[in-house]
Amino acid sequence: MNSKATLVLVLLLVALAGYVYASSRDDDTQAELTKDSPIQIYPTPYGEYDIIELEIAAPLGLAHFARTNETPTQDWQMTQPTSLAPAELDQVRVNGAATRLGGLTASQVITSVTNLAQYGLAPSPQLTVTLTISNGQKVTLYTGNQTPVAGSRYIRTAATTESIYLVPAFAMDDLLRLITEPPLAPTPLPDPGLTPTP
């Protein structure tokens, strides 16, 4: 093969590599994907009793829960959209959602983001979650679209608009269900030892 043909072949390969690279880039050309699992979303994870209030807002509605000091285990009560005492709530569902949020980590992070809309985070997110921590701090998370490969959702914190995290979809979808399927305490089953009166 002569040098002219070799040069043409090298140029074609460089052009092809450039095309593949450009086509594999996201629409947001500044975004960079980092994989270093697990990735911390908060400066420090929050323990079971660190979160004392949980507010979930979506186009479908809003739900607000707060811990109460009226029970030894600081059970949850609901304050919006309706008032429900701890005994009326499914404590397992509410506490499970808060515990997952407290230890939430990401599998990937996209940095240098300039276009929030392509992730479903603008003009408004699909879900806004506000945590009140026992020290008075508030942490707000915004949830966007599901990732193209199902299993994760895009979220960001109120602290930055330039980093987007990929977190398990079920953790955020469970929060939405606290609005669409209120966590009412299960109805106790009748005692099998009792004989119904005729």
Residue 82 included in any domain:
yes
Amino acid letter, residue 73: T
Q: Residue 80's domain spans which residues? A: 32-180
pLDDT attached to residue 32: 64
Residue 89 included in any domain:
yes
Query: Token pair for residue 39?
Result: 């990735």
Residue 166 included in any domain:
yes
* pLDDT tens, position by position, 24-77: 344 444 466 666 668 999 988 898 899 999 999 999 999 999 999 888 889 999
- Asked, as a colleague might, if the bond just before 43 is cis with ω within 30 of 0, I would say no
pLDDT at 14 over 90: no
Type and span of the H or E element at 21: helix 3-24
Asked if 51 contacts 102 with a C-beta cutoff of 8 angstroms, the reply is yes
pLDDT attached to residue 17: 47
Query: Token pair for residue 142?
Result: 């915004």
Residue 20 included in any domain:
no
